[in-house]
Amino acid sequence: MRQKRTRYWKIAPGSHGFAWVEQRDSNCIAIGWGETGSLGKYKTVDRIKKRFKEVFRGEKTRPSQLLKFYNEVRVDDKVLANSGREIYGVGTVIGNYRYDDSLYYEHSKPVRWELTY
C-alpha cells in the first residue's frame, strides 16, 4: 500500500503578514486577486486564465499562483503562514476552496491552525 505524501505550502497572509490575524481568526489561509470573482464558477482552467487577463489587463502579474492555490493545495496538506522572514502559523487544510468576500483576500481554503505565533 502506497503511503500518502504530506505536502507543505508556504503562503504569505499579505505583505509582511498584515492579514494574518484575520486569517487566523477565520481559520483559513487566503490569497489575493479577488477581482476575478469565485473560481468555482468557471468550468475550465482556460476560462480562469481568460478572466484573469480581462481583470488584470496590462499588468505584469500572472495567474500561476492563484491556479496553484486553487488546484494543488488540498485537504490534509500543511500550510506555513509566513512573511518570508517570520512564521505566523502552521496548520492543516481541512476543506476545499471558498470565495469569501468578507475577507480582505477572498480566495481561501479552511485551515485548522495547530501552531500560531
What does the pLDDT look like over 42-73, one tens digit per residue? Answer: 999 999 999 999 999 988 888 999 999 999 99
Whether 1 is in a domain gets the answer no
- pLDDT greater than 90 at residue 116: yes
Whether 89 is in a domain gets the answer yes
Length of the chain: 117
Task: Decide if 114 contacts 92 (C-beta within 8 A).
Answer: yes
Cβ contacts of 45 within 8 Å, gap of 6 or more: 67, 71
| Number of domains the chain contains | 1
- Its pTM stands at 0.91
- pLDDT greater than 70 at residue 22: yes
- What is the SS3 assignment for 72? helix
d(CA 30, CA 76): 16
pLDDT tens digit string along 77-87? 999 999 988 99
Task: Decide if 49 contacts 33 (C-beta within 8 A).
Answer: no
Which residues span the domain enclosing 102? 8-116
